[in-house]
């Protein structure tokens, strides 16, 4: 989850060298450094539920699941992000020999927070769409039962929304399913949010 921008502009190479020594994570958007803030209790529950579900379903296949410590680079407009959950199938491609920046995720998941919701839906998604490997993008609300599932069909991104605990999100690119009941397990919403 992103926070406020620090007024520092670096080249992609300078960013990577600096980020690899930093004590906290930062995203990189067109030369701008964006400090990452901590996550809420619900955010971490949802992130771990999704990554756990995907790990169980994919453990015998040629795909790996990563959480928010794995960086992703977009191209040709070079930006670096830390998605909450990502899936890579087949041989992972890395930017360099440090093996900490992936180039070929097939599924990306962002758990929304009030400070990043419009960014994750807008500018960040625009950058993610530069990834030729990306087939599915999932936005998960932590304040209510709501998932937005973007699936690439030929050249168009199609949106399907899920708003019931009985719903199941189909991830056709990796042949998995995410039941909302499992994603939101142990997440307690305030009564007026339902």
Q: What is the pLDDT of residues 64-121, one digit of tens each?
A: 999 999 999 999 889 999 999 999 999 999 999 999 999 999 999 999 988 889 999 9
**Residue-wise pLDDT tens digits, 141-187:** 999 999 999 999 999 999 999 999 999 999 999 999 999 999 999 99
Residue 146 belongs to some domain of the structure:
yes
Q: How many structural domains are present in the chain?
A: 1
CATH of the domain at 172: 3.90.1570.10
Which tokens go with 143?
Answer: 């304040």
With bands split at pLDDT 50, 70 and 90, how would you rate the model's confidence at 193? very low
Contacts of 186 (CB under 8 A, 6+ apart): 45
Which tokens go with 75?
Answer: 């191209």
* Cα–Cα dist 109/65, whole Å: 11
Which tokens go with 3?
Answer: 């926070």
Residue 8 belongs to some domain of the structure:
no
Residue 24 belongs to some domain of the structure:
no
Residue 120 belongs to some domain of the structure:
yes
pTM of the model: 0.91
Residue 165 belongs to some domain of the structure:
yes
Residue 33 belongs to some domain of the structure:
no
The closest of 74, 80, 78, 55 to 66, measured between CA atoms, is: 55
Residue 147 belongs to some domain of the structure:
yes
Residue 17 belongs to some domain of the structure:
no
pLDDT value at position 191?
Answer: 61
Whole domain around residue 79: which residue ranges?
39-193
């Amino acid at each position: 989850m992103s926070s406020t921008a620090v007024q520092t502009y670096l080249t992609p190479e300078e960013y990577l060298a600096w980020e690899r020594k930093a004590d906290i994570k930062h995203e990189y958007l067109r030369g701008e450094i964006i400090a990452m803030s901590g996550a809420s209790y619900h955010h971490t529950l949802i992130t771990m539920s999704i990554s756990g579900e995907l790990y169980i379903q994919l453990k015998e296949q040629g795909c790996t699941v990563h959480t928010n410590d794995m960086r992703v680079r977009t191209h040709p407009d070079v930006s670096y992000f830390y998605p909450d959950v990502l899936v890579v199938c087949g041989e992972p491609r890395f930017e360099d020999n440090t093996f900490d920046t992936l180039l070929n995720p097939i599924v990306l998941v962002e758990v929304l927070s009030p400070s990043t919701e419009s960014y994750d839906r807008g500018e960040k998604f625009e950058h993610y769409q530069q990834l030729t490997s990306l087939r599915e993008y999932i936005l998960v609300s932590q304040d209510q039962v709501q998932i937005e599932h973007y699936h690439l069909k030929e050249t168009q991104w199609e949106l399907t929304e899920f708003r019931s605990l009985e719903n199941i999100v189909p991830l056709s690119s990796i042949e998995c399913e995410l039941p909302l009941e499992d994603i939101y397990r142990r997440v307690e919403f305030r009564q007026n949010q339902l």
